[in-house]
Structure 1
Amino acid sequence: MNVAYVPIPKDLTKVRQKLILNLTKRQVICFSGGALIGVPLFFLTKNVLPGSMATFLMIFAMMPFFALGLYEKNGEPLEAVLRHIIESRYLRPRRRIYQTQNIYALLEKQARLENEVKAIAQGNKQKAHRKRKAAD
């Protein structure tokens, strides 16, 4: 009796639904875009340039589309990785200052203010008490 075993991945977030030829929808779209750019480019340049040069031109024109379809780092596609790199290198400040709030300094300041309020309140009571004695 033969029993078939199918491996089931433990992390289901990495499972991608395959569409055509074991490719995901993203890969099919990117490869189609590359083909729509590269194949006409080859046929337009094969009579003007030598065959190998036209082929290399086609390959270099299609390579960004293949990279967009295939490259993934930490579950993010290439454009997200490039966006993070551009933001961290050029758009955000290079040196970020780490600032904390010293809660103990805030508590000390609050205690000082409360003592000041108490002193003012006691001073007013003493003045009022002195005024009453002077009036008697």
Structure 2
Amino acid sequence: MAYVDVPKDLTNIKTKFIGNFTKRQCVCFGLGILVGFPGYFIARGAIGTTAAFYVLIALMAPFFLFGIVEKDGLPLEIYMLNFIRHTLAYPQIRVERSENIYEYYDEKRKQEIQMKTQQRAGKRGGKRPHGRQKK
């Protein structure tokens, strides 16, 4: 009887597009070829075949890396973006700050008390404290 292994985690399985390559890899390789070969033919006339071959490799390598490399399930460009954000954009030492919400309510309560005392003074009509009035 035939036996087929079925992986438990199906999120790691990627659909193949051409041969053993995914669509993403085919696009990256195609872009690498479109950039690399014209660069090779242009450089070959100016600097020679061997040096032009190194130019070809230098032009195609980033596209191939972006097509192949995955780290922690993330494509290379997203991983690099996260790495740059973590190291450069965000502070390495986080200062713990807390907000005391009771200060806001305390200030609000003080303002309410102050307004009530002003309203009471206005209702008295300018009466003097302790019941003394002008004669």
- The alignment's TM-score, normalised by the length of structure 2, stands at 0.68
Q: How does 1:97-136 map to 2 (within 5 A)?
A: 97-98=95-96
* Distance in 1 (alpha carbons) for counterparts of 2:77 and 2:85: 12
Q: Tell me what 2:59 maps to.
A: 61
Structure 1, unaligned runs of 5 or more: 107-136
- The residue number in structure 1 matching 2:12 is 14
Q: Deviations over 1:4-54 (max 9, x none)?
A: 433322210000000002100100010001000001111111111121110
| Correspondence 1:39 to 2:28 | no
Q: Which stretches of structure 1, 4 residues or more, deviate above 6 A after TM superposition? A: none
**Can you list the C-alpha shifts for 1:49-82, whole angstroms capped at 9, x where unaligned?**
1211101110111000011001101110001111
Identity of aligned residues (%): 38
Q: Residue 69 of structure 1: SS of its match in structure 2?
A: helix
**Count of residue correspondences:** 101
User: What runs of 5+ residues in structure 2 fail to find an aligned partner?
Assistant: 103-135
TM-score, length-scaled by structure 1: 0.67
C-alpha RMSD of matched pairs (Å): 1.9
